């Protein structure tokens, strides 16, 4: 049995007939082709699948696509605006905050939510805010620096 899901993804209205058991991450990747959202574990541990659901960071491997019906979803593909990188994306670029890049989309989405809630986080608050996202490569220091860079950029732009 299929059901209709309607949602807005990166500013675009989407509507599909899907199986109710389809996970949001599979909907984004397999049906919409938005493969920037990664799957690292399938056990809600790694955070590689993190997207914004109505502005809240969620692990899209733990959400059914039908639960996002009527919602606004932002993936890594939708974070840049008018050809300009989001300050967190810019921070990752400037501070070499990635190596293999597997964790990066989820890490950036989680950091964007963190800064939307707390524009001036301490280092501890950044580490705490990103604790649901695992990186096997960087040792986290560059990621923290990237978020600090983004926080400063965002404060300057206000």
Stated as kind and residue range, the H or E segment containing 9 is: strand 3-9
The tokens of 145 are what?
Answer: 């620096």
Which listed residue (7, 48, 57, 71) binds ligand FES by CB under 6 A? 48
Beta-bridge partner residues of 57 = 52
Q: Please report, as residue ranges, which positions from 136 to 155 form the binding site for ligand FES (by CB under 6 A).
A: 136-138
Candidate residues 64, 92, 102, 149; the one interacting with ligand FES per rule CB under 6 A = 102
Q: Which is nearer to ligand FES, 48 or 71 (CB)?
A: 48
CB of 66 to ligand FES, least distance (A): 18
Q: Which stretch binds ligand FES (CB under 6 A): 10-18, 26-34, 88-96, 135-143?
A: 135-143
Residues that bind ligand FES (rule: CB under 6 A) add up to a total of: 23
Smaller CB distance to ligand FES: residue 48 or 52?
A: 48
The residues pairing with 5 across neighbouring beta strands, listed in sequence order, are 16
CA atoms of 129 and 123, how far apart (whole Å):
10
DSSP-assigned beta bridge partners for residue 9: 12, 73
Cα dihedral 17/11/48/37 (nearest 10): 60
- Of 69-98, which residues contact ligand FES (CB under 6 A)? 98
The answer to whether 42 contacts ligand FES (rule: CB under 6 A) is yes
Task: Report which of 76, 48, 58, 57 is spatially closest to residue 133, judged by C-alpha positions.
Answer: 48
Closest to ligand FES by CB, 101 or 119:
101
Q: Which is nearer to ligand FES, 6 or 95 (CB)?
A: 95
Torsion-angle region of 51 (φ positive above 0: left; ψ -120 to 50: alpha; else: beta):
beta
Contact 133, 45 (CB under 8 A): no
Binding site for ligand FES (CB under 6 A): 39-42, 44-49, 59, 61, 98-104, 135-138
């Amino acid at each position: 049995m299929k059901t209709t899901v309607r949602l807005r993804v990166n500013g675009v209205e989407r509507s599909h007939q899907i199986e109710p058991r389809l996970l949001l991450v599979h909907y984004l990747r397999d049906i919409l082709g938005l493969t920037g959202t990664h799957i690292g574990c399938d056990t809600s541990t790694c955070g590689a699948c993190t997207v914004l659901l109505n502005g809240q960071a969620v692990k899209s491997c733990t959400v059914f696509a039908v639960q996002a019906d009527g919602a606004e979803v932002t993936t890594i593909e939708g974070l840049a605006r008018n050809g300009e990188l989001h300050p967190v994306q810019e921070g990752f670029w400037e501070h070499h905050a990635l190596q293999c890049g597997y964790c990066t989309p989820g890490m950036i989405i989680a950091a964007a939510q963190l800064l939307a809630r707390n524009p001036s986080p301490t280092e501890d608050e950044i580490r705490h805010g990103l604790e649901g996202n695992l990186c096997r490569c960087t040792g986290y220091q560059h990621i923290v620096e990237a978020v600090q860079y983004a926080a400063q950029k965002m404060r300057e732009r206000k």
